[in-house]
Amino acid sequence: MGTVTISFEMTLDGVFDQMDQWFDPDDAGVQRASDALVFGADAVLLGRESYEFFREYWPAQTDDRGFADHYNALPKYVASTTLTGPLDWNATLIEGDVAEAVRGLRDRYGSIISHGYGQLAATLVAAGLVDEVHVGIHPFLVGDGEIRLRSPQPVGLRLLGVQASESGIIAARYAPA
């Protein structure tokens, strides 16, 4: 059975949006954490907002590491109640029960990554389908912004590992306790 890893970035005060102010994709620590996650993935699971954002960004990207090529080639599964298929960017719309669909994906793929922490992540947490949570904590205080980190139920986590980059970004990995 495969694993589902939720990955997201946030500021110290828990803000997920306004990323142009605080997120540096060229930071060596960000790249190390992203490489480890994405190069080890067999599929990507996205909510509608993340899919629409990433679909506009990633297909035009190139890099010397092969990251963009690998990420673009991964099969993507999109949970949405408003999109209709077929989707582009190597993506398939999940129709029907999301939790049941993800259970099927876990039987099919070894490692599934999901980016962001919105409604899809809450659904996965509620269904007990999250094996790991990876969070990049950036040394920045926004003061206002959209805080999405909500859990449908209390979930205790245990630390699997932590790395700090030279710029102060903390990459932490957790699993349900």
Domains of the chain by residue range: 3-8+19-135
CA dist., res. 103 & res. 106, Å (int)? 5
pLDDT in tens, 28-65: 888 888 999 999 999 999 999 999 999 999 999 998 98
Q: So what CATH class is 3-8+19-135?
A: alpha beta
Write down the pTM of the prediction. 0.91
CA atoms within 13 A on the CB side of 66: 4
- pLDDT value of residue 143: 81
| Mean pLDDT for the chain overall | 91
Q: Is the pLDDT of residue 149 over 80?
A: no
